[in-house]
Structure 1
Amino acid sequence: MTDQPSTDRLSEARAALATAMALHEQGDLEGAEAGYRAVLALEYRATDVLPLLAGLLGRLSRAEDALIAWEQLLAIAPDHAVALHEKGLTLHWLGRTGEAVAALEQACALDPHNAIAIGNLAVVLADAGRNHAAIGQFRRALALQSDNLHLRHQLRRLGAASVPFWHIPMMNDAPRNDAFEAAITAAIAVAGPDARVLDIGAGSGLLSLIAARAGAQHVVACEMEPLIAEMAQQIVAQNGYADRITVHAKPSTDLAVGVELDVPAQILVSEILSSDLLTEKVLDTFEDAHRRLLAPDALVIPRAATAMGCLVASETLADYAFVGEVSGFDLSPFTDFAQQRLPIHGTMTAWQRLSDDHELVRLDLTQAKHDAVLTRLRIPVTASGRAIGIVQWMHIDLWPGVTFDNHPDRYTDGGWLQILHSFPTPVDVIAGETLDIAVGHDRITLILLPLTQ
């Protein structure tokens, strides 16, 4: 900045500013821009004019030019909270999310009671995929504006997006909960109340709470989704077990004996089995626990999990798994992109059974190591039809005499669904004959493919 403008230059600058502001108000944005730039050239009231120019450039969708104006203002006034806020929004507009977050964090630090700026920071964090941090900022903004319905909606939306839909129906699944409780109670009776319990994939903390209620004095739980872990710890405290249960917001692979666990756990409880058995890295997780976190003679709940299934025909499900002629065009090649695993509810979807139930794949979760496997299964066909795939469910062995399954004939109201494993193309089968299926797993997914194709 130079010295104070001369009287003539000052008068010229004031007149130019008045004209520019009038043009701005009239909607002549190009004329206003020229006027503001003329005022800046006269070095008059830059800290007042630059925000007007930057805002105008934003309205003209000239984000890069607007950013330059905000940066010019910050070069004069580095702690200008409004400029930092607007710079952050402009950077976000330009797709420069990391820089946008940094600018908005600076703005919020300078103006910690500005609910709008904090809310905008939350929005940018959410767009960056940092949902947990975004939720924290939305909560902070809502504490300042408790009646802001927009903030409440965003907080609820992000919370729901961070928690899979099946969590609540699974928590409400009384038969499943009763089976886990029977197994956990029996294990603690055998190992004793001082046995260290490890709960992997704690979710709401229900299994940890069951263990504590059964007498366990030392429970370490882990949940890799920070928002869910935070809620689990709150639920644990609310139910009066904070002195016995500790929840860590991290995957079990980040736990260590001597850090989160004082000694190797004598009891492992875990409910990370997905509807198709393997998707949630079940084998990797259990193997790591056996290798690093469990005592050699640890009791494991569940002890085993088996994928069960039967051949099925269904016109309804076929429309989700295959495509052929549509509007007079052959679209059948697109079937190559069809989902191989479709979640269903057994008694809520029309399908016909073409075989009896068969054991497909069994996992002994007490074993320390699991290899990928692929074998041949010969399935006797009990009804003729067009087999579109195999409907699969789970049978869980929790403890001697304690089992649970989500058989499609009787289970429709829990968190586990049945899965249709569709064939690459439908197979016509005849009652009394057999269909050979390749069954196994690659440690991550089940493999169920007809050998006739």
Structure 2
Amino acid sequence: MPNSKNKSRRRHKVGQETGRNELVSRSLQSAQHCLEDQDYGTAYAHYLLVLNIAPELKNDVKETFQFTLLKWAEELDSLSRIQDLFDCYEHALELFPNDEVICNSMGEHLFRMGFRDEAAAYFYKAVKLNPDFLDAKENFYRVANWVVERWHFIMLNDSNRNLLYQKAIQKAALSGCKSALDIGTGTGILSMFARKAGVSSVYACELSKTMYELACEVLAANGFDEEIKLLHMKSLDIEIPKHIPERVSLVVTETVDSGLFGEGIVESLIHAWEHLLLPPKPNNAGVDAENYGRVIPAGAAIWGMAVECKEIRRHHRVGVKEIAGVYLPEELEFHSPTDASVTSEETLEPYTTEKLSRVPGGYKALTEHFQVFTVNFNNVQELKSFATRKPSKIDVTVIEEGIVDAIVVWFTLQLDDEHTISTSPSEDSCWEQAVYPVQGLLDYSVKSGDSVTMEISCQDCYIRIQKISIVPADYGMDDERNLREKNSEAELCSALASLQTASKRESTQQRCMVESTEIALLNNIPYHECFKAAIGKVLSSLSVHEQSQSMDVDRHSDAALARNQSKNSVTPDPLYVLDVSEGFSILPIIASKYGPVKAYSSVEKEQHQVALSLISEANRCPKEALEFWLSQLKDENMVLQRPKSDKLWSIIILDVIETSGLIQQDVMEKAAISRCLLHSGGKIFPQHVKMYGVLVESRALVLETEVQGTDPTLGFNIAPFINQFKVPFRIFLDLSTLPHVPLSKPVELMRLDLMNPYLNSCNREVKVKVCKTGHVTGIPFWYHVCLDEDTVLDTSSKSSHWKQAAVVLDKPIQVQSGDELVLCVQYLNSNISITVKQ
């Protein structure tokens, strides 16, 4: 009997195996048929079944499964079936947890949906799994700038800043602080300062997933993973005793931005005093601080100064009335997003930031520096008052004649009664300054003795400087009284008329908010003059060609005579121009002034369309000459298509260079499509682009890219972990103010031909002769944007709205004058890499 049972089991097992194999075979066949029919969803389901019941086939079907997953994910994405999309990836990653292609694709979907932290984790994993996977590396570099912002590197390299924080924390520990909470810990350096200083219980919180995981690695590497409790959460969500056992005697934080309050320090400290900190020490208390709470930094003083700065001006005020023959109507006002008078929904921050010591063209102080206000972080009532405090007015005397372009703000961070950190533009520190551009005045000029008045408030966690005005020195106290005492009827009527005129002007003004880079573009006269010349050449040539063809046809036609007699009354077919450059652009209006032209703009914001329509009307362009292309498309992805079923474009204008200094993503793919949509004799602008570079020695580039060992971090091992997030490119550079020493002459690195995109070489070796002894640390690069052979735009020029970028070498290369280096330049999928072959 036992033998018969065993035989029965074996037969049953064989039967099961046979059935399984048949099911696998049928499912694979069905999956293949579905792929042929482009039914990716069903094919994906079949592959899931196969891989779950026959995991030994993973390697055999891996590539086909990847292809099916990516196609099905694209379809789900287009249908907005987001949950189904992520479910598919989760199932796929359960089967292939270490597949770099799946990880990278998952990251791409997450990034497009705004989940940058999560995307970074998948890109990072993909690069770790396959360091040669170029797509994942480029994706990781792109997202690394978001999730680990570049100021982390600059700040950690600021040894003076680190030392002052360490001394203040040591002093607090010596005075009796036994427990500490580090709010917004970042890499965990302040927490480690506290633990090393003798604080027995140290807690830290970090909201960013990427920074939290990085801090975990840093704490473990330095032996503090068991001694510092790290929480992945906002401090506002910390509860006692759920997350930490009791109130702490010390809070350390550097959740401040260049405008001091922009990272929410006021809100987080109010919450800390009410829920997480021991009560503040009374004025008459003794030295021992064990039973009292305190904050490092203890407070801050905010300082301001009115300045003249052409670079700030050209990014925030349109300073021209006419651009390449296009007149800007008086009733149209352009404003940058920092303008506090623009609706709050459109304004992210009321200031921008600049490192004034490196601003192109420099700046001139028009006033002495003045105190905006002070804040005591150890006084919760004072912190609460900021949200309800009425705006205060400040009146500052002008000491230098000039043009008021901005109010520049910095602060002195009072860590304790002994240690301070200043972010002044005159200090050599890691900090930038907050810049409040002045906008909306009729006259910005001042002379010595005049006054600049402003209103200071604190709203929505931001310090706001509003209602900036200029009061002339000769405007005396009696002027207002004299005006009030004028009672003649004629003068009263005149005053009323003036008020009505001003009111009318105010009501007819059309405000248009554009990005600061778009204002700089409007101020870039050479850019528009070059486009005007290049556009004119092409349209004139095509017009002559079409007229010639029309005359040839008429000459052989029975009705030739009649047509020739009436040709002046017949409107010729228009030439079609498409501008798909990003942001606000007046190039379609420049094009529409050349005879019978239909110019299509790709701007999509309603206020931008209104502004362009006003400009078009002011320049007496025919109403039908300007069209808004995206408004006519059902799918924005189809922006590159024929203007009409039987028509082609005469000119297509593409954005090739980002304002950051990098090449636009997918630009060569767009060029290839555009080439197929051009009328005979039509052109793509630009027609080609040349990339130039130079070898430099620049310590600034290195310090802004990676942390330099353990010296600046006072012995703590942080560099290897945060440097995993360094990127080989430094963007938004201005080569004219970058501290550097050129070690070679500029050389052409690469040429991209947009009219013949398939002829571009992906790899090139360039020999560069060294002309000065030193250490090569980077290769800044810029472009000559060639609209045609005679019309060239230089992205490194003073008037350029573009910035430059640089490749930063992993290790400096020592060179002697006369040496020759070979640069290997690779261009793949709109991404450039430059390596040095010695």
What's the offset of the Cα at 1:348? Answer: 1.4
User: How far has the Cα of 1:244 moved from its partner?
Assistant: 2.0
Aligned residues: 395
Q: Which secondary structure state, in structure 2, belongs to the residue aligned with residue 320 of structure 1?
A: helix
2:134 is equivalent to residue 154 of structure 1: no
Match of 1:354?
366
Q: Which has the greater radius of gyration?
A: 2
Match of 2:299 in 1: 304
State the alpha-carbon separation in 2 of the partners of residues 117 and 125 from structure 1.
12
Deviation at 1:154, TM superposition (A): 3.1
- Structure 1 position 378 matched with structure 2 position 395: yes
Equivalent positions of 1:321-400 (< 5 A) are 321-324=316-319, 325-327=321-323, 328-330=326-328, 333-340=332-339, 341-349=351-359, 350-368=362-380, 369-372=384-387, 373=389, 374-400=391-417
- Number of the residue aligned with 1:3: none
Q: SS where residue 425 of structure 1 aligns? A: coil
| Stretch deviating more after TM superposition (229-238 or 123-132) | 123-132
Change (3 A) 1:72 1:255: same
Q: Which of 173, 184, 197 lines up with 2:180 in the alignment?
A: 197
Alignment CA distance shift 1:355-1:283 (3 Å): same
1:256 equivalenced with 2:239 (yes/no): yes
**Whole-angstrom distance in 2 between the partners of 1:326 and 1:45:** 71
1:182 alignment partner, one of 167, 180, 185: 167
CA contact (8 A) 1:283 1:370 kept: no
Give deviations 1:188-239, integer Å, cap 9, x for gaps. Answer: 11124xx110110111111111112212221101111111011112111111
Three-state SS of the structure 1 residue aligned to 2:461 is coil
Distance in 1, Cα, partners of 2:276 & 2:270: 10
User: 1 CA distance for matches of 2:230 and 2:354?
Assistant: 32
Whole-Å separation in 1 of the counterparts to 2:452 and 2:132 = 63
Shift of 1:45: 6.5
Cα distance in 2, alignment partners of residues 184 and 111 from structure 1: 47
| Equivalent residue number for residue 211 of structure 2 | 228
Distance 1:77 1:380, change over 3 A: closer
1:446 aligns with 2:463: yes
Deviating more after overlay: 268-277 vs 379-388: 379-388
| Cα distance in 2 for residues equivalent to 1:408 and 1:287 | 30
- The verdict on how the C-alpha distance between 1:334 and 1:91 changes in structure 2, with shifts beyond 3 A counting, is farther
Give the aligned residue type for 1:322.
R
Whether 2:263 is the aligned partner of 1:280: answer yes
The reply to whether residue 420 of structure 1 matches residue 435 of structure 2 is yes
Using the TM superposition, name which of 227-236 and 436-445 deviates more.
436-445
Q: Which stretch of the first structure deviates more once superposed, 338-347 or 195-204?
A: 338-347
* Distance change in 2, residues 1:441/1:286 (3 Å): same
Could you tell me which runs of 5 or more consecutive residues in structure 1 were left unpaired when the two chains were aligned: 1-43, 58-68
> Does structure 2 conserve the Cα–Cα contact (< 8 Å) formed by 1:342 and 1:420?
yes
Within the alignment, does 1:137 sit opposite 2:122 as a pair? yes
Give, in whole Å, the separation in 1 of the partners of 2:113 and 2:467: 42
Q: Amino acid of the residue matched to residue 236 of structure 1? A: L
Counterparts of residues 59-138 of structure 1 (less than 5 Å): 69-73=39-43, 79-80=49-50, 82=65, 86-138=71-123
- Report deviation, 1:174: 2.0
Deviation at 1:263? Answer: 1.0
CA shift digits 1:144-186 (9 cap, x unpaired): 5454343344334433321122111111112222221221111
Partners of 2:308 and 2:322 lie apart in 1 by 21
2:226 corresponds to 1:239:
no
Q: Please report how far the alpha carbon of residue 136 of structure 1 lies from its aligned counterpart in structure 2 after TM superposition.
A: 3.6
Paired residue type of 1:220: Y
- 3-state DSSP class of the match of 1:179? helix
RMSD over aligned Cα atoms: 2.6
SS in 1 for 2:233: coil
User: 1:386: how far off?
Assistant: 1.4
CA 75–399 in structure 1, closer or farther in 2 if over 3 Å, else same: closer
Task: Give me the whole-angstrom Cα distance separating, in 1, the residues matched to 2:298 and 2:278.
Answer: 15
Shift of 1:137: 3.4
1:269 to 235, 252, 264: 252
Residues 310, 391 of structure 1: 8 Å contact kept: yes
Contact persistence 1:304–1:365 (CA under 8 A): yes
Contact 2:307–2:364 (CA<8 Å) still a contact in 1? yes
| Cα 1:109/1:334, change in 2 over 3 Å | farther
Letter in 2 for 1:344: E
Q: How far apart are the structure 2 equivalents of 1:353 and 1:74?
A: 66
TM-score, with length taken from structure 2? 0.44
Report sequence identity in percent. Answer: 22
